[in-house]
Structure 1
Amino acid sequence: MTESKRLNFLKSFLKLYGVEKIVLTKETVDSISGIAIYDETDPDERQEFIWHKPESEVPSPQLNILIEKIVAEKWHNGDKISEHIEELEFNEFDNLTKEKILNELFDVEIRMIDDGEESDSYFVHY
């Protein structure tokens, strides 16, 4: 079975938070939910989540490229992205595309679930 665009994006996005693995628990037309695992050897290092986003509204594939570069170059600290990212050049896309996908990145909000209730969110900012 082919991995959904949502799951593929989640795997990339949650790397910003040090998530090692994602276990899906439910996938519907309008949302995807699962467990983000930070440390597979520690059962306390897990966070349930839900992303209220249909498959048709997943951010562009270029955003995955940007996130992978942010993670590889350590241009972030958890949810805080280096404000210098706007000044950095990317071989993969031009500045107009970079601005567009940065806006996509800052629009992502994945809800955390604690005790069965939506609580906090995964998101990024400067």
Structure 2
Amino acid sequence: MYQSRYEDIVDEGSESGREREIVLFDRCIGLLQAARGAAADTPDVREAVIFTRQFWAALIEDLGLANNALPKETKASLISVGLFVLKEIDKLASGGTMDFDAVIDVSQAIRNGLSAGQAGS
């Protein structure tokens, strides 16, 4: 289970950090895809919800740090996306329905952006 602070996971430099971010996004996406068709109170859904919540909360926390080197506009956009994801997760946790496809789509878009940035480095 993902319980480390985000900066502890990506502390080995930007390339290593980017690679780890891609791996974590892949895990998040895979769990969400597995949970998408499952009943709300199943192990697949619980694991996807817990991992996704912790992962995105850690991303948001990292983006809010003063030493985060991303441009302000990028950080603000990513924080907004993260808050949307957490809101969707909370819907499911409170007995509602979560838009798995939207959360998967935004996670894939960010993961793909990281991958493209890695290829261009």
> Same fold per TM (> 0.5)?
no
* TM-score normalised according to structure 2 size: 0.30
* TM-score normalised according to structure 1 size: 0.29
> Which of the two has greater strand per residue?
1
Higher relative contact order, structure no. (Cα contacts within 8 Å, ≥ 6 residues apart): 2
> Which of the two has greater helix per residue?
2
